[in-house]
Amino acid sequence: MTQDLRALALDVIRVRDPNEKALAARALDPHAPCDPDRTYEEPAGVPGRLERPPLVPPAELKQRSVHTLPGRIALIHALAHIELNAINLALDAVWRFAGMPDLYYRHWLRVAQEEALHYQLLREHLVGLGADYGDLPAHDALWEMAEKTKDDLLARMALVPRTLEARGLDAAPLIQVKLRKAGDQRAVEILDVILRDEVGHVAIGNHWFRHLCTQRGLEPVATYATLARQYGAPRLRGPFNLEARRAAGFDQAELDALDDA
């Protein structure tokens, strides 16, 4: 008998080795049966991690020029770390939150599998540069927001895909400009894939945020502002990739609100 999709997601999020986790996430069966009503107790080891990379506050990470090899390695390592965290975040959205429509779980499984591909592409490029994931320190801001929002799916949808991941839509073109000037065309191509897929991931976050707002009788723009204050979300700063944000489903009222963030 095929195991429940949500139980499988919980198994994969607990895998400690990042490369094995990415492989396991991509191997999950998107057609596996899914029980939306079952509640799972959180076991130890969520998310599974190795001792490397060491996790430090963001302010302790060195800023280096991408025009040097160590600088490009540091940047690609940081991006790989973000994508690994994104695998965990998507899997967590699958196993943790009960009572959603079947499509919700299929959506977030797809996100986990695409994030796993992104991690693999970045890690492969990192190895080509003479390094590997885990060689440098990293920060834990993405997972810290997951911890803060683990008891409220509305807050999770508001503040992870629609805030932290949407910042990636803004940042990716600027990073590509730097990498192109540094002559790293392969990294530019990988970011093309990531940006394309992340538009879809943010759109999924928007869809389910609005679904929950409708379900709870809440107005989305005001609700987002309240949740951002309540959970201490990072302040949004431009320049904003308005084209990508529109493609990801942000409406004009939400884009106008960025000026007041």
* 54-113 per-position pLDDT tens digit: 888 777 777 888 889 999 999 999 999 999 999 999 999 999 999 999 999 999 999 999
Helices (H), 38-101: 69-96
State both tokens at 244.
Answer: 């990508």
Q: Which residues of the chain have pLDDT under 50?
A: 1
Amino acid 63: pLDDT: 81
Q: Coil, strand, or helix at residue 55? A: strand
Amino acid 98: pLDDT: 97
Rounded Cα distance between 13 and 109, Å, is 12
State both tokens at 58.
Answer: 């963001």
Neighbours of 110 (CB within 10 A): 17
State both tokens at 236.
Answer: 């949004």
Rounded Cα distance between 261 and 250, Å, is 15
Amino acid 142: pLDDT: 83
Q: Residue 207, by phi and psi: left (phi above 0), alpha (psi -120 to 50) or beta? A: alpha
Contacts of residue 235, defined as CB under 8 A and 6 or more positions apart, other chains included, come to 261
Amino acid 260: pLDDT: 64
Q: Cβ distance 110 to 30 under 8 Å? A: yes
Q: Cβ distance 22 to 119 under 8 Å? A: yes
DSSP symbol at 138 = B
Domains present along the chain, CATH in parentheses:
5-33+61-260 (1.20.1260.10)
Q: Cβ distance 145 to 164 under 8 Å? A: yes
Q: Coil, strand, or helix at residue 216? A: helix
Q: Cβ distance 161 to 201 under 8 Å? A: yes
Q: What is the pTM of this model?
A: 0.95
